[in-house]
Amino acid sequence: MARLAKYITEYVSLWVLLGSSIAFLYPSAFKPFSKEIPLLLSVIMLGMGLTMTPDDFKLVMKRPKDIFYGVALRYLIMPIAGWCVAKAFVLPPELAAGLILVGCSPSGTASNVLTFIAKGDTALSVSVSSINTLLAPILTPAIFLILGGTILPLNSSALFLDILKIVVIPIVLGVSLRVVASRYVTYIQPIIPAVSVVMIVITIGIVVALNAAKLATVAFIALLAVMAHNALGLSLGYGAARALGLTEPRARAIAFEIGVENSGLAAALALAHLDPLAAIPGAIFSVWHNLSGSMIAAYWAKKDLKNR
């Protein structure tokens, strides 16, 4: 079971691509499950909580400056980069709003794995992910309202409640279970990432199915915009971290915290509060950031670390 789970986790991009292709060709198989997306994402967030421990938050007290830099850069770079890319590519309002929403979302769970592969500061990555995810109910609606509210109207209080239900409550529940039932959680921990991958594949498949009719006309421009957005996040995140004096391992961690998004959450929020087409950037991001992140992580893994 553990070997199967590892196999599923290692090839996440392949499964997302395969699931998206099937959903595009046979949308009727996925559409009936559109209302289950919040539940699917809650399971993913519960899994994230089950892999966290109270120790993940102790770094906030030991290295507050590093954590502050990571969270501040996360919610500064990607929202602005999303807005700039949307303007530069003259995206339709729905795609523009969806891309900005991706930028306003917290870090993706893959950022921790990619940081580990890249010989980055994994402890910093986990702590920054945890903090910026818990801050998402406040910061995501507030930043989107400023940058994307003029493109498509949004009920920020409803968005706050959805993120609270989908993200924060499952994570808190997961952390609590890890504390009170650590023996059982440790037993199932090897399969938790694989379950998250399956949930992500189904979620993205539903998004693709709902937009199958329109996808052929917007996929190319949306892909280019997502690639540009992701590249800006990774490069500016790394560059800003180095400019602020962070060591190479810490800068690598910050780069992934900024360039890898919780795009599944962005897609779900777009479906619930914006327009089905606004979920497309999140769906594409889920595939692309795993591909680009894996390539960069592999490159960094072979490169000697400097300035530890």
With beta carbons less than 8 A apart as the criterion, state whether 167 and 106 touch. yes
With beta carbons less than 8 A apart as the criterion, state whether 308 and 248 touch. yes
Q: Please state, in angstroms and rounded to a whole number, the distance separating the CA atoms of residues 80 and 70.
A: 16
CA distances for 124 relative to 39, 77, 250, 274, angstroms: 29, 18, 7, 33
With beta carbons less than 8 A apart as the criterion, state whether 53 and 178 touch. yes
pLDDT at 47: 82
Q: Which of 69, 63, 74 is nearest to 245 (CA)?
A: 69
**Coil, strand or helix at 240:** helix
What class is the 2-302 domain? Answer: mainly alpha
pLDDT at 306: 56
Count Cβ atoms below 10 Å from residue 11 Cβ, excluding itself: 14
DSSP category for residue 106: -
Q: Which of 250, 252, 279, 285 is nearest to 267 (CA)?
A: 279
Q: Please state, in angstroms and rounded to a whole number, the distance separating the CA atoms of residues 279 and 156.
A: 17
pLDDT at 224: 95
Quote the pTM value: 0.85
Alpha-carbon torsion angle 232, 167, 64, 50, nearest 10: -110
- Per residue of the chain (308 residues), give pLDDT as tens: 767 777 777 777 788 888 888 988 898 988 888 888 888 888 888 887 887 777 767 777 788 899 999 999 999 999 999 999 999 999 999 999 999 999 999 887 788 888 888 888 988 988 898 889 889 888 998 899 888 877 877 777 888 888 888 888 888 898 888 888 888 888 887 788 788 888 888 888 888 888 887 777 888 899 999 999 999 999 999 999 999 999 999 999 999 999 998 888 888 888 888 888 888 898 888 888 888 888 898 899 887 665 45
pLDDT at 179: 82
Placement of tokens 């729905």 in the chain:
94
Domain residue spans in the chain? Answer: 2-302
CA distances for 261 relative to 23, 66, 193, 287, 304, angstroms: 22, 19, 16, 11, 27
Q: Which of 135, 131, 3, 149 is nearest to 67 (CA)?
A: 131
* Polymer length in residues for the chain: 308
